[in-house]
A and B are shown apart, each in its own frame.
Chain A
Amino acid sequence: MRRRKLEELFFRSLMVLSTVIVGGSFFLIVGTIFYKGAPYMNLDMITKIPGGGFYIGKEGGVLNAIIGSIYVAGGATVLGLLISIPVAIFINMYMDGKKFLSNTLRMAYDVLFGIPSIVYGAFGFLIMVYFGIRASLLGGIIAVTLLVIPILVRTLDEVIRTVPGELRDAALSLGATRWETAKVVLRQIRPGIFTAILLSFGRAVGDVASVMFTAGFSDNIPTSLHQPAATLPLAIFFQLGSAVDEVQGRGYASALILTIIVLIITILAELLIKKFSKFRN
């Protein structure tokens, strides 16, 4: 009996220890980035584009990359929504009685979600070569759109499924067509759509493997879809590879900026999900 109690105690402590490690790793990462990035942080970083000699440690900031990332992630999320909302509606409202098919479709999007961004990047590059598009904002948006479609579809699908069946039945029985019913459902899930937008934007803004072939890099803020665009994660990667301490330091500061952006987005999404699930109950 004593041995069994001891075993219980042993494994219980192991579990607590593991939980501390897993939960603590978040603080360790964010803490490290803050500790190393904060000393190099200043207003220039977020208000200026790289000046002459930026890459040997002279003045400037990463505004070009911040704006570039927002353009790419924003464009991809908008394009992705235009595709994903109809897909999510189709799976949920137009496939009644075809449960096997709709579940297979859901699984296909789950699998697409698992395809790594480097593969989307390589494929996006193929599309660009095929259509003769050079590395540009447009190319980056295309590749990242492919990356976020599965996230958007699966999130929207989960949200639509939380809408009570009675609501749909009521609309349908009043003589509404499926599309008119879908409009009612869409209004109902508005907070869920915001959550999907945040999740997609958060993933898109932080991804690098999909944009490194496709968006290119530039010290200027792009003014058209056909100009190359810098992205924040890629700027971090380049700066860290520098041999100049000052440039590396600014890489840490850029990492801090990206971390803060993504944390804000994730926390907002968390809050929305919580509010939404309260709504449901």
Chain B
Amino acid sequence: MFKFLTLTTSSTFTTSTTTMQLRLLKDKILAKLMLVLTLASVSLLLVIGIGLYYKSIPLLQRLSWGTLLTSGVWKPLKGLFGFYPFIMGTLWVTGIAIIIALPLSLLTSLYIVEYAPARVKRALSPFVNLLSGIPPVIFGVWGVLFIIPLIQKYIAPHFVEYSTGYSVLAGGIVLAVMIFPLIVSIISEVLRTIPQELKDASLSLGATKWETIKKVVLRKALPGIIAATVLAISRAFGETIAVLMVCGNNAVVPHSVFDTGYPLPALIANNYGEMLSIPLYDSALMFAALLLFIIILLFNIISRVILARLERKLAV
């Protein structure tokens, strides 16, 4: 009887250790699997860069970085690939977008965070999210239907003799609307982190609300505003379909806001059909993608580091 008892207890004991071991083993295997998935997905950052660079090598062997970036001649059939017009197109469109979007978004965030009554705040915030959910192609359609005629009929006639409306200005306006939600949401978040005591101190010294914002809030929020701007620039840099639809796409350096432009992403999207039929063309388009990737990667890292630092300062 006793012997029987000890036998059963010992057997249950061994089964429980094996299930225990099984559970631990399962945990360990899954941990490794998750580690692999994490490393694989995060290494995309490297792999994309290497892949695009690898594909750009044939072009880079023919032409140097300097020529590629500064030459204005784009004649793929003759093997001439100058990216200068496209880089300038991108810079014009992005510049216009930021000039329009930054002041409007900053003032909007200030209103939402500092002035708006709770009711208005609650009513407003969904629209920012809804706007950010609208797909790029819809912004493009809107640009064609609304912004192009607006420029052609009402804005351009005051400044130039004739414009079709398809211009870097149209691209800039459409992009500006596209980056509103991004800038507003980041700046609002930064503004919310500024301690009430600081504002109270300024207000109690007799400063008006605007003076407090100007001298205390904005100064405190400056790094966050810079980070939001850098992030918005990199978003505008890579936006493809909407600018493709409204910029006119001429491989010429724009000299006024009413000139047509041909930003880098539009170049890639517009020519993928022919890229395999002309020598080096595919390499050139992958080089364009590489350029975008490098610039956007750098800008993103800079702004994320600033934002992370702000967050850490707040946590302390």
Contact surface of A with B, Cβ cutoff 8 Å:
4-5, 7-8, 11-12, 14-19, 21-23, 25-26, 28-30, 32-33, 36, 83-84, 86-87, 89-91, 94, 103, 105, 107-112, 114-120, 122-123, 125-127, 146, 149, 153, 177-180, 202, 205-209, 212-213, 233, 236-237, 240, 251-252, 255, 258-259, 262-263, 265-267, 269-270
Name the B residues within 8 Å of A266 (CB-CB): 129-130, 133
Residue total for B at the interface (Cβ-Cβ under 8 A) = 83
CA distance A17 to B128 in the complex (A): 16
Establish whether residues A108 and B138, one from each chain, have CB atoms under 8 Å apart when the complex forms: no
Establish whether residues B208 and A4, one from each chain, have CB atoms under 8 Å apart when the complex forms: yes
CA distance A110 to B304 in the complex (A): 8
Could you write out 25 A-B pairs with CB less than 8 Å apart? A4-B208, A7-B211, A8-B209, A14-B107, A23-B127, A29-B146, A36-B145, A86-B33, A94-B34, A108-B42, A108-B45, A112-B42, A115-B238, A115-B297, A116-B237, A118-B265, A119-B292, A123-B51, A123-B52, A179-B26, A179-B31, A208-B135, A233-B137, A236-B138, A269-B133
- The chain A residue sitting closest to B34, CB to CB, is A90
CB distance from B62 to the nearest CB of A (A): 20
Establish whether residues A263 and B130, one from each chain, have CB atoms under 8 Å apart when the complex forms: yes
CA distance A18 to B187 in the complex (A): 14
Contacts beyond the supplied A5-B208, A114-B231, A180-B27: 20 A-B pairs with Cβ under 8 Å: A15-B115, A18-B104, A19-B107, A83-B37, A94-B35, A107-B308, A114-B235, A114-B296, A116-B238, A116-B240, A118-B292, A119-B289, A119-B292, A119-B296, A123-B51, A149-B44, A209-B265, A240-B141, A259-B138, A262-B138
Q: Indicate whether B74 reaches chain A with its CB closer than 8 angstroms.
A: no
Name the B residues within 8 Å of A125 (CB-CB): 272
CA distance A177 to B25 in the complex (A): 10
Establish whether residues A115 and B141, one from each chain, have CB atoms under 8 Å apart when the complex forms: no
Establish whether residues A111 and B45, one from each chain, have CB atoms under 8 Å apart when the complex forms: yes
Establish whether residues B126 and A270, one from each chain, have CB atoms under 8 Å apart when the complex forms: yes
Most buried by B among A28, A87, A209: A209
Establish whether residues A252 and B145, one from each chain, have CB atoms under 8 Å apart when the complex forms: yes
Name the B residues within 8 Å of A180 (CB-CB): 23, 27
